[in-house]
Amino acid sequence: MEADLCCNFKRCRKRLSTFAWVTSCSHIFCDEDGTREFNEAFTCPACQTSLSGKLDIIRIDLQPTEQYKSMVLSGLKPETIMEICTRSMAFWTYQSHQERAYQEYVAKKSKDRISQLEQCYETLAKKSSAEIQALKLQISSVRKELDSKNTQYNTASEKFMEKSRQYQKLQALYDALRRKSINPSDFENQTQINMNSNDTRSERSFNIAMIGSGGDAFTRQTNRRYSIMSPPEMDFVLQPRSTPLISRQRSSVDDMQRQFAIDNLLSTPSVDRRRNS
């Protein structure tokens, strides 16, 4: 199998075993490629030599029969037979040399390609190792930062818990002091003030409605009553006073409540008369 020749067509290069096409320029082609190429033009596909002679291209059988072997050189002189054999051996030697040169070229090209790939892979490996090292350093720095942030978070959480406990204590103390300072009388006074303010709002809304409907007499009567009850205006004089005490504030609130009660009593009959009319 190693002694078989190969097709000299560049895109074929297969082993020859049955029929082949041989040219005078010492090239050989397989039956398929030779038939296709020589039907188109009488030019060697390997070296582009013109093959216009009658015996420049022949089709041979690589597995001749015994009868062919016994008859092909019969009747020829020994010198002719030796010359034919010498040329045949030269053709074989040339084909073997060309095949060896082609295989060496392919091997060299493959080695160059392998060396280029090795250099590329070494460069990629160095680059990858450098990137991995940089990523490791980055991961270590991020871990340190994360540890510091966790420490800060724990410290802040402890401070927050401590502040929350202090706030709860202060809130409880504030609630206790508030319960101690609140008296029932203050709550009753505040309730009475709210009721009086509600009555005043209702009276004002009724007065506005009467004014809108043409109640001029009622308005004059109300103004006359408030002018009689209100004291004469006096000039404002700024006098220094001491800080008011809780008892004074409560007495002022009681005076205001009594004043609002008097106003309500005075205004109620007129409102009732107006409603009856």
Q: What is the CATH number of the domain that holds 50?
A: 3.30.40.10
Q: Are residues 55 and 82 in the same domain?
A: no
Average pLDDT over residues 160-179: 91
Q: Percent of the chain scored above 90 by pLDDT?
A: 38
Tokens at 121, concatenated? 């892979």
Model confidence pLDDT, tens digit, residues 118-162: 999 999 999 999 999 999 999 999 999 999 999 999 999 999 999
Q: Are residues 52 and 21 in the same domain?
A: yes
Q: Are residues 53 and 82 in the same domain?
A: no
Q: Are residues 119 and 50 in the same domain?
A: no
Question: Structural domain tally of the chain?
Answer: 2
Residue 121 lies in a domain: yes
Q: Are residues 86 and 166 in the same domain?
A: yes
Q: Are residues 55 and 95 in the same domain?
A: no
Average pLDDT over residues 78-101: 91
Average pLDDT over residues 237-266: 54
Of 18 and 231, which is predicted with more confidence? 18
Residue 188 lies in a domain: no
Average pLDDT over residues 77-104: 91
Q: Are residues 28 and 94 in the same domain?
A: no
Q: Is the pLDDT of residue 207 over 70?
A: no
Model confidence pLDDT, tens digit, residues 61-77: 988 889 888 888 889 99
For residue 230, what pLDDT band results from cuts at 50, 70 and 90?
very low
Of 195 and 240, which is predicted with more confidence? 195
Q: Are residues 90 and 167 in the same domain?
A: yes
Mean pLDDT of the chain: 78
Residue 114 CA to its chain's centroid (Å): 39
Q: Are residues 59 and 8 in the same domain?
A: yes
Q: Are residues 82 and 59 in the same domain?
A: no
Q: What was the pLDDT predicted at 107?
A: 93
Residue 4 lies in a domain: yes
**Owning domain of residue 51:** 1-63
Of 86 and 190, which is predicted with more confidence? 86
Instruction: Give the residue from 145, 272, 265, 148 showing the smallest Cα distance to 210.
Output: 272
Q: Is the pLDDT of residue 202 over 80?
A: no
Q: Are residues 54 and 87 in the same domain?
A: no
Residue 133 lies in a domain: yes
- What string of H, E and C letters represents the secondary structure of the chain? CCCCCECCCCCCCCECCCEEEEECCCCEEEHHHHHHHHHHCCECCCCCCECCCCCCEEEEECCCCHHHHHHCCCCCCHHHHHHHHHHHHHHHHHHHHHHHHHHHHHHHHHHHHHHHHHHHHHHHHHHHHHHHHHHHHHHHHHHHHHHHHHHHHHHHHHHHHHHHHHHHHHHHHHHHHHHHHCCHHHHHHHHHHHHHHHHHHHHHHHHHHHHHCCCHHHHHHHHHHHHHHCCCCCCCCCCCCCCCCHHHHHHHHHHHHHHHHHHHHHHHHHHHHHHHC
Q: What was the pLDDT predicted at 1?
A: 43
Residue 223 lies in a domain: no
Among the candidates 172, 195, 220, a domain finishes at 172
Of 2 and 67, which is predicted with more confidence? 67
Residue 43 lies in a domain: yes
Of 211 and 100, which is predicted with more confidence? 100
Of 265 and 179, which is predicted with more confidence? 179
For residue 30, what pLDDT band results from cuts at 50, 70 and 90?
very high
Among the candidates 40, 63, 86, a domain finishes at 63
Residue 87 lies in a domain: yes
Q: Are residues 153 and 120 in the same domain?
A: yes
Among the candidates 172, 192, 225, a domain finishes at 172
Of 33 and 4, which is predicted with more confidence? 33
Q: What was the pLDDT predicted at 258?
A: 65
Of 241 and 86, which is predicted with more confidence? 86
Q: Is the pLDDT of residue 238 over 50?
A: no
Residue 220 lies in a domain: no
